[in-house]
Amino acid sequence: MNSYSEYHTKNGNKLELEDLDLVNHPIGFTDESNEVFKLINFQGNNFIISDSNCYACSRVYENVDGYRWVEILIIPNGKNIKILNKNSSIRYSFYTLKLFDFLKSDKDILEFDKLYVKTFSGND
Protein backbone atom coordinates (compact mmCIF):
# COMPACT_ATOMS: atom_id res chain seq x y z
CA MET A 1 0.00 0.00 0.00
CA ASN A 2 1.36 3.43 -0.87
CA SER A 3 1.21 6.57 1.26
CA TYR A 4 -0.68 8.62 -1.34
CA SER A 5 -4.39 9.35 -1.33
CA GLU A 6 -6.40 7.27 -3.79
CA TYR A 7 -7.37 10.55 -5.46
CA HIS A 8 -3.73 11.31 -6.25
CA THR A 9 -2.84 7.98 -7.84
CA LYS A 10 -3.21 6.28 -11.18
CA ASN A 11 -3.44 2.48 -11.04
CA GLY A 12 -2.03 2.61 -7.50
CA ASN A 13 1.00 4.70 -8.49
CA LYS A 14 1.70 8.32 -7.58
CA LEU A 15 0.57 10.80 -10.26
CA GLU A 16 3.46 12.34 -12.18
CA LEU A 17 3.82 15.48 -14.31
CA GLU A 18 3.15 13.36 -17.40
CA ASP A 19 -0.35 12.73 -16.01
CA LEU A 20 -1.27 16.43 -16.25
CA ASP A 21 -3.45 17.52 -19.17
CA LEU A 22 -1.33 20.45 -20.36
CA VAL A 23 -3.26 20.71 -23.64
CA ASN A 24 -6.62 21.48 -22.02
CA HIS A 25 -5.14 22.92 -18.82
CA PRO A 26 -1.96 24.77 -19.88
CA ILE A 27 0.50 26.37 -17.51
CA GLY A 28 -1.13 29.67 -16.60
CA PHE A 29 1.80 31.33 -14.89
CA THR A 30 3.88 34.44 -15.55
CA ASP A 31 6.25 36.54 -13.52
CA GLU A 32 8.14 39.77 -14.23
CA SER A 33 10.51 37.96 -16.59
CA ASN A 34 7.64 37.23 -19.05
CA GLU A 35 9.50 34.06 -20.00
CA VAL A 36 7.90 30.77 -20.98
CA PHE A 37 7.77 28.30 -18.09
CA LYS A 38 7.77 24.53 -18.20
CA LEU A 39 7.23 21.88 -15.56
CA ILE A 40 10.08 19.50 -14.78
CA ASN A 41 10.84 16.81 -12.25
CA PHE A 42 14.36 16.88 -10.84
CA GLN A 43 15.49 14.26 -8.33
CA GLY A 44 11.89 13.42 -7.43
CA ASN A 45 10.77 17.03 -6.91
CA ASN A 46 8.58 19.12 -9.23
CA PHE A 47 9.57 22.60 -10.37
CA ILE A 48 8.33 25.19 -12.83
CA ILE A 49 11.30 26.76 -14.62
CA SER A 50 12.16 29.33 -17.26
CA ASP A 51 15.52 30.49 -18.60
CA SER A 52 16.17 32.58 -15.48
CA ASN A 53 13.68 31.55 -12.74
CA CYS A 54 12.68 28.45 -10.85
CA TYR A 55 9.83 27.82 -8.39
CA ALA A 56 9.20 24.72 -6.30
CA CYS A 57 5.95 22.84 -6.92
CA SER A 58 4.00 20.16 -5.10
CA ARG A 59 3.23 16.65 -6.20
CA VAL A 60 0.41 16.22 -8.71
CA TYR A 61 -3.05 16.42 -7.15
CA GLU A 62 -6.36 15.22 -8.55
CA ASN A 63 -9.88 16.09 -7.41
CA VAL A 64 -12.92 13.79 -7.55
CA ASP A 65 -13.81 15.19 -11.00
CA GLY A 66 -10.45 14.12 -12.45
CA TYR A 67 -8.94 17.62 -12.67
CA ARG A 68 -5.18 17.46 -12.01
CA TRP A 69 -2.77 20.21 -10.97
CA VAL A 70 0.40 21.07 -9.05
CA GLU A 71 0.67 23.78 -6.45
CA ILE A 72 3.44 26.35 -6.74
CA LEU A 73 5.19 27.59 -3.62
CA ILE A 74 5.89 31.31 -3.79
CA ILE A 75 7.32 33.50 -1.09
CA PRO A 76 6.02 36.97 -1.97
CA ASN A 77 8.81 39.44 -2.72
CA GLY A 78 6.93 42.33 -4.34
CA LYS A 79 7.71 41.28 -7.92
CA ASN A 80 4.47 40.75 -9.83
CA ILE A 81 3.35 37.17 -10.37
CA LYS A 82 0.20 36.17 -12.22
CA ILE A 83 -1.38 32.76 -11.90
CA LEU A 84 -4.40 31.91 -14.00
CA ASN A 85 -6.21 29.65 -11.54
CA LYS A 86 -9.33 29.11 -13.62
CA ASN A 87 -8.06 26.53 -16.13
CA SER A 88 -4.39 26.04 -15.33
CA SER A 89 -2.38 23.03 -14.29
CA ILE A 90 -0.69 25.37 -11.80
CA ARG A 91 -2.37 26.54 -8.58
CA TYR A 92 -1.08 28.87 -5.88
CA SER A 93 -0.14 27.04 -2.69
CA PHE A 94 -1.84 28.41 0.37
CA TYR A 95 0.96 26.79 2.35
CA THR A 96 2.74 30.11 1.85
CA LEU A 97 0.28 31.61 4.30
CA LYS A 98 2.01 29.57 7.03
CA LEU A 99 4.80 32.12 6.74
CA PHE A 100 2.69 34.26 9.08
CA ASP A 101 3.95 31.99 11.89
CA PHE A 102 7.40 33.54 11.41
CA LEU A 103 6.27 37.15 11.55
CA LYS A 104 7.01 38.39 15.05
CA SER A 105 5.66 41.94 15.16
CA ASP A 106 2.88 44.08 13.77
CA LYS A 107 5.48 45.78 11.57
CA ASP A 108 6.55 42.39 10.13
CA ILE A 109 2.93 41.54 9.35
CA LEU A 110 2.28 44.89 7.65
CA GLU A 111 5.46 44.62 5.54
CA PHE A 112 4.59 41.06 4.51
CA ASP A 113 1.05 42.15 3.66
CA LYS A 114 2.37 44.92 1.39
CA LEU A 115 4.69 42.46 -0.39
CA TYR A 116 1.88 39.93 -0.75
CA VAL A 117 -0.51 42.49 -2.28
CA LYS A 118 2.17 43.84 -4.63
CA THR A 119 3.21 40.32 -5.72
CA PHE A 120 -0.31 39.09 -6.48
CA SER A 121 -2.11 42.33 -7.40
CA GLY A 122 -2.59 41.22 -11.02
CA ASN A 123 -4.55 38.07 -10.11
CA ASP A 124 -8.30 37.54 -10.16
What's 21-48 look like in SS3? CCCCCCCCEEECCCCCCEEEEECCEEEE
Q: What is the DSSP pairing of strand 81-83 with strand 68-72?
A: unpaired
Please give the residue range of the domain that contains residue 64: 6-120
Q: How many domains would you assign to the chain? A: 1
In a domain, 99, yes or no: yes
In a domain, 1, yes or no: no
pTM tops 0.85? no
In a domain, 97, yes or no: yes
Question: CA 117 to CA 79: how far, in whole Å?
Answer: 10
Query: Residue 121: left (phi > 0), alpha (psi -120 to 50), or beta?
Result: alpha
pLDDT in tens, the chain (124 residues): 334 444 567 777 889 999 999 999 998 888 888 999 999 999 999 999 999 999 999 999 988 888 899 999 888 888 888 887 678 898 887 666 677 778 889 999 899 889 888 888 877 6
In a domain, 66, yes or no: yes
In a domain, 27, yes or no: yes
Question: CA 88 to CA 21: how far, in whole Å?
Answer: 9
DSSP state of 122: T
